[in-house]
Amino acid sequence: MAARILDGNKIRDEIMHELGDQIRELKAAGIRPGLAAVLVGENPASQIYVRNKVKTCESLGLYSEKIEWPGDTTTERLLGLVRDLNSRDEIDGILVQLPLPPQVDSKVVLEAIDPAKDVDGFHPVSVGNLVQGRPGLVPCTPAGIIEILRRSGIEMKGARAVVIGRSDIVGKPVAMLLLHNHATVTICHSRTRDLPAVAREGEILVAAMGRAAFVTGEFIKPGATVIDVGINRLTTEEEVRRIYHHPEGVLAKLREKGSVLVGDVQPEDAREKAGAFTPVPGGVGPLTIAMLMSNTVKAARLRRGSRVAAKA
């Protein structure tokens, strides 16, 4: 029997609908959550990401500002902008789109963001709150993964969960969130001995290492839930033929569009061995912007919540 597909687009729409209700409630109390998106340079992918984030803000009725600065911007000038945004009460969330140009010290800039406005969840204070299970802002992709599991009826409590990848953005925070949801968690990486055998222990398997179709059938416990975080672009027939067992349909799409997306999991193997899995595209990806919007609303509540209560 084929695995159940966990539809990220459907779950995103559910979250957006709920956020609409929360935003109307905040507006009734005189508060319009606001997001500032900072874009430095002319990275085409970053331009698309920021445009989509601002467009989503507009569709929800959030206040948004897109701040675009040239590629020769210095660390000092960017720090001045962050300090200004930190001081503005109408801005609840600050997003500095990565990557920044090489002359900018990204770490210094990100750590200058007020943790109360850190909607990406990257600040050391946000990380500390996550580790301790305290209220705060959680990285968007890991938060989206938990929403997929929760809203799809996948039991985390008591489950064996394996995370492949130890990045600060996805691997470590999703492992911590799974732990807070009472899963027993193993984090794997490039130095893990007999990685396929360890991965097969997972009733929940999260693949987040950024290598196209790295996770094959030998990594997947039959019936497991597989969460594929990877987004890898294939542009040659050779790549497609190397990855897919039955490449004909994917090759046709490649010839039509010039490229195709594949995750970190071999999709045919996931369909055959998993009990449920997230497709690429249409799985984890749609949740990332949804959770950014959710974090912006959450930041407004945490920062200005006493005013909401006073007017309720």
Query: Quick one: the chain helix, strand, coil %, rounded to 5?
Result: 50, 15, 35
For residue 61, give Cα distances in angstroms to 21, 26, 49, 241. 11, 11, 19, 45
What letter represents residue 104's amino acid?
Answer: V
The answer to whether residue 168 is catalytic is: no
**Catalytic residue, candidates 120, 228, 264, 269:** 120
Count how many residues are written for the chain: 312
The answer to whether residue 264 is catalytic is: no
d(CA 126, CA 135): 9
**Catalytic residue, candidates 66, 92, 97, 117:** 97
User: What DSSP string runs through 166-201?
Assistant: --TTTHHHHHHHHHHTT-EEEEE-TT-TTHHHHHTT
The answer to whether residue 13 is catalytic is: no
CB 102 within 8 A of CB 74: no
- Other CB atoms within a 10 A radius of the CB of residue 228 amount to 27
CB 240 within 8 A of CB 219: no
Peptide bond into 99 cis (omega under 30): yes
Structure tokens at 264: 């970190």
Three-class SS of residue 231? coil
- Residues annotated as catalytic (active site), given as ranges: 53, 97, 120
